[in-house]
Amino acid sequence: MASDITTLLKTIQDGITELATQSFKEYIKDIGNDSESIYQAFKGDIERWSIEVENGDLSLEDLEFLIKGKKDLIKITVLTQKGAAKIQLDKFKQGVIDLIFSSIKSVIK
Amino acid sequence: MKQKNKPSLIIFFCFLLCGCALLTPTISDFDQYTCMQVTSLKIDVLNVMDSAINNYTSQTKLTSEVNLNLKKFYEYEKTRPKNTETLNQLDILMDTTANLYGGFMLRWKKKGQLGLVFIKEQEKLVGAAFDEIVKLERKKIKK
């Protein structure tokens, strides 16, 4: 019996490690892509706004407001990433539950 | 597996289930209504912002209606459990001391009317903020 439980626990442990690697690999890749796109968008906006200020289409006050608005938008994007991390964690937890169920079912059979 | 081992395994199984009970969700599930409302409100809000080329006082009927719908939506989101991120996103979007929709509306009210280029640039930011809220909602687990 002790060896059965040891084997079962080892199966679950290995499964959880594999599940964690798979679950968070994609998330980390998404974070990297999001960070790059935030930087590129910010760079593009600043360049365009500077030209619009030079042309007299935007005032310096407008520019300051837009830059602060961009900062607020980044805060909102960070909240999306924070929420996405929680979602990924919930998916991982569900995966752990499924793994435990299937491992135990295979031992009981 | 021997028959006599089964009770021990069942006890072990129950023990694990208790552990699993602690694995409660950390964020709200996907809500189709939220997605539809955010998409609809985005269009209404951008429409209101377009009107900032005109005098604020001439647009009060339109602005009041959209602001009321935003408040109703915020109240709906407050009723959803574990919805902190979406609520915080809406807080930033609607905050009059911040620089997205709420701040834009206050600026329009103070200045009377706003320049077209500024409006269009601000619309890009506000539109992107709405897109982020939908993006988060769509990532949530569908039950």
- Mean pLDDT for the stretch of residues A78-87: 93
For residue A43, what are the contacts with CB-CB under 8 A and spacing of at least 6? none
**pLDDT score of B11:** 59
Mean pLDDT check: name the lowest of A37-41, A90-94, B51-55: A37-41
CB B66 within 8 Å of CB B105: no
- C-beta atoms surrounding B141 within 10 Å: 13
Q: Are B100 and A69 in contact (CB under 8 A)?
A: yes
pLDDT one-digit tens code per residue, A36-78:
888 888 889 999 999 999 999 999 999 999 999 999 999 999 9
Q: Which residues of B lie inside 8 Å of A (Cβ-Cβ)?
A: 1-2, 5-6, 8-9, 12-13, 16, 20, 23, 25-27, 85-86, 88-89, 92-93, 98-100, 103-104, 107, 115, 117-118, 121-122, 124-126, 128-129, 132-133, 135-136, 139-141
Task: Name the token pair of B108.
Answer: 């329009």
pLDDT at position B112 is 97
Which residues have CB under 8 Å from B53's CB, separation 6+? Answer: B113, B114, B116, B119
Say whether A76 and B89 touch across the interface (CB within 8 A): yes
Check residue A94 and give its pLDDT: 85
pLDDT band of residue A23 (cuts 50, 70, 90) is confident
Q: What is the pLDDT of residue A77?
A: 93
Q: Which residue has 């539809």 as its token pair?
A: B36
pLDDT band at B22 (very low <50, low <70, confident <90, very high): low
Residues B109-119, mean pLDDT to the nearest whole number: 97
pTM exceeding the 0.80 threshold for the entire prediction: yes
Q: Between chains, do A84 and B136 touch, taking CB under 8 Å as contact?
A: yes
Boundaries of every domain in chain B: 28-139
- How far is Cα A39 from Cα A34, in angstroms, rounded to an integer? 9
Widest distance between CA atoms in chain A:
81
Q: Average pLDDT for residues B102-120, to the nearest whole number?
A: 98
Q: Read off the pLDDT of each residue in B58-70 and give the average, rounded to a whole number.
A: 97
> Which of the two residues, B32 and B10, has the higher pLDDT score?
B32
Percent of chain B with pLDDT over 90: 82
- pLDDT given for residue B18 in this prediction: 54
**Cα–chain center distance at B130:** 7
pLDDT at B4 (0 to 100): 57
CA distance B50 to A68: 20
User: How would residue B7 be classed by pLDDT, with cut points 50, 70 and 90?
Assistant: low
Q: What is the pLDDT of residues A94-105, one digit of tens each?
A: 888 888 888 878
Q: What pLDDT, on a 0 to 100 scale, did the predictor assign at position B35?
A: 97
B81-110: average pLDDT = 98
Reply yes or no on domain B28-139 having CATH 1.20.120.
Answer: yes
The interface predicted TM-score (ipTM) is 0.87
